Structure 1
Amino acid sequence: MNGWATDPTETIAWLCKVRAHIVFSSRTIALWLITFATIDRWFLSNINVHRRHLSTLKNAQRSAIFITIFSIILYAQMFYCYEANLMNTPLKCYGKTKVFRHLTDLSLTFITVLCPLFVMIIFGLLTISNIRQSHRRIQILKTENIDHSINKPSGLSNENPQQKLKRKTDRSLLRMLFVQVIILTILTLPLSIQKFYSTISSENISPVEDAIDMFVYNMAILLYCISNGMPFYIYTLCGGTIFRKALSDFIQTMKRKIICK
């Protein structure tokens, strides 16, 4: 609608506030859910059995509920801070005072972008460390059981088909997760840097500097919007057959329902 110059959030106050709250809270929820998925991968790949048991559907549901409630409360300020029909701001629907804009910028920079990215990178590296430790343990076990392996009939494998499928699925999920973390870092860091810069920069700037800031802001927003649409393509391209099969099954199910109707 903005492309047709009829964006109602620019002129209707309550719609401006609702849109701002939904945009900021949903971005926070999306990034932190991926962060929790990274932590879950670390739990699942850990050699400590007690930590592996923490990777459960119940804990995943609790994490999702917690971050949803937290994000809604965190950006409830939008109903008071944001206003429509503003002038000399990057958007007509924007923070109505400098204090509110700085508060929003800092929340977005640190809580929505930098903190989840930092946690993703840390637990991603820890997951790699867990996998290497597991590989070393497997090599040790193979060395200890080499005598039994010699006497074992040829053509038999220590892994059953279910174990092979699980290992293949774990590799696909890890590959998908790492690609997602790297792409999210590249696409979201520019916005956090721009927001942080706008918070510490002086208010008295020339028209040329203001135009440059506006251009950088719009480019950073564009990259951030691209990051919001990337997960689907990452899942289907880097997630292995598990996500492509799920997508195919979903399409086939929808076709059968349409035919039945």
Structure 2
Amino acid sequence: MSSSDASAIAAWNNTSAAVNRYFSIFIFLFGTIGNILNILVLSQRALRTNSCSLFFLISSIANLAAILSGLTTRMLSGWTLDLTNTINWLCKLRAFVLFFSRNIASWLIMLAAIDRWLLSCRNVHRRQMSTLKNAYRGIIITIIFSIILYTPVLFCYEANLINSPLKCYSKTISCRLFNDFSYACLTILFPMITMLLFGLMTIGNINVVKNRVHVSSIIELKTTGNPSILERTTQTSKKKLDNRLSFMLFIQIILLSLCTFPQAIQKMYSTLIPNEVETPLRIAIENFIFNLFLLMTYFAHGMPFYIYTLSGGTVFRNALKQYVEKIYKF
């Protein structure tokens, strides 16, 4: 090995270690605080009675679980010993909780996108499907599905491995193929593609409804006069909440896609491309890419609160302000 290659390998390894050590701390604090605030705000009665807000609430709980289970040990490994790398049962438990919570978070945002589409449909029967009862059903089904999907992790993952991206990782090739395909296809690609599809369909429905409402309002004013002030206020408030929730959802879908697609592509590449003779330099570069893309997924788990605060308009910010004032008075 030449001296230039040795220097490059050392540089890549040091960069990877620095990213793991410092970026993990930032994401941990950023995500933990944001998700706790999300849970507190979305738990308020005014928001949790909305089906989309309920999906956001449970998704925030899952995001918090993913950050705590995945980043705590990863963050500490840069400073001290990571017990999940050496203790088998801890390795299995951490992997299961991480994949389980990630799948729940991803699928609930997908269900929120479907819920927004149902609410925007012209068909009254579809709009009536957007209810709290159906939201609870969707959450329960998602939890059961996630448990079934990632129970094999308890068998596949093992500590003290060598020649793997992490010491706590799938122990056999068949396990890696199953876990990588399950995670890439069912936890990332399928939910994200579904979110984007229903998001575009919702935008199309909203544009159609806006035109029809405008025409209907003109006809109604000519025939019956102005509706009551109370009726208009109620309709305006509900419409404002629904529109803001839809906008918050669209922004989250876009950012989630940007943060999670790279890891899905990397997983599919490493699984489908036959193993070649790899040089130490290539291994160092691939480890850096693996760690960077992995941390991007944790960043996706930590950003919803900041998305909601910036894109939620007065609806979310007022709810946050009311909660802070309530705590202050207490």
TM-score for both structures, normalised by structure 2? 0.72
The farther-off stretch of 161-170 and 221-230 is: 161-170
The farther-off stretch of 28-37 and 97-106 is: 97-106
Q: Helix, strand or coil for the counterpart of 1:134?
A: helix
Contact (CA 8 Å) 1:169, 1:240: kept in 2 or not? Answer: no
Using the TM superposition, give the Cα deviation of residue 161 of structure 1 relative to its aligned residue in structure 2, in angstroms. 1.4
**Aligned residue identity for 2:101:** S
- Corresponding residue for 1:22? 97
CA distance in 1, matches of 2:82, 2:277: 29
2:248 pairs with 1:176? yes
Q: How does 1:52-131 map to 2 (within 5 A)?
A: 52-131=127-206
Structure 1 residue runs without a partner (length 5+): none
- Corresponding residue for 1:210? 283
State the aligned residue count: 253
Q: CA RMSD in A?
A: 2.0
Q: Helix, strand or coil for the counterpart of 1:4?
A: coil
- Corresponding residue for 2:234? 162
CA distance in 2, matches of 1:219, 1:35: 25
Using the TM superposition, give the Cα deviation of residue 210 of structure 1 relative to its aligned residue in structure 2, in angstroms. 2.1
- Corresponding residue for 1:251? 324
Structure 2 residue runs without a partner (length 5+): 1-75
CA distance in 1, matches of 2:186, 2:175: 16
CA distance in 2, matches of 1:223, 1:157: 48
Structure 2 CA distance for partners of 1:255 and 1:103, relative to 1, 3 Å: same
- Corresponding residue for 2:53? none
The C-alpha deviation readout for 1:3-40, integer Å capped at 9, x for no partner, is 22221111100000000000011000001001101111
TM-score for both structures, normalised by structure 1? 0.90
- Corresponding residue for 2:315? 242
The farther-off stretch of 156-165 and 41-50 is: 156-165
The 4+ residue runs of structure 1 with deviation greater than 6 A are: 156-159
The farther-off stretch of 59-68 and 130-139 is: 130-139
The C-alpha deviation readout for 1:155-198, integer Å capped at 9, x for no partner, is x9896112111222122111101100100010000000000000
**1:7 pairs with 82, 91, 109, which one?**
82
Using the TM superposition, give the Cα deviation of residue 145 of structure 1 relative to its aligned residue in structure 2, in angstroms. 4.3
CA distance in 1, matches of 2:198, 2:276: 42
- Corresponding residue for 2:260? 188
CA distance in 1, matches of 2:222, 2:169: 71
**Aligned residue identity for 1:187:** C
Contact (CA 8 Å) 1:8, 1:15: kept in 2 or not? Answer: yes
CA distance in 2, matches of 1:244, 1:94: 41
Q: Helix, strand or coil for the counterpart of 1:160?
A: helix
Larger RCO (alpha carbons 8 Å, 6+ apart): 2
Structure 2 CA distance for partners of 1:53 and 1:97, relative to 1, 3 Å: same
Q: How does 1:137-148 map to 2 (within 5 A)?
A: 137-145=212-220, 147-148=222-223
Percent identity of paired positions between Structure 1 and Structure 2: 46
CA distance in 1, matches of 2:284, 2:177: 19
Using the TM superposition, give the Cα deviation of residue 256 of structure 1 relative to its aligned residue in structure 2, in angstroms. 4.7
CA distance in 2, matches of 1:236, 1:6: 37
- Corresponding residue for 2:115? 40
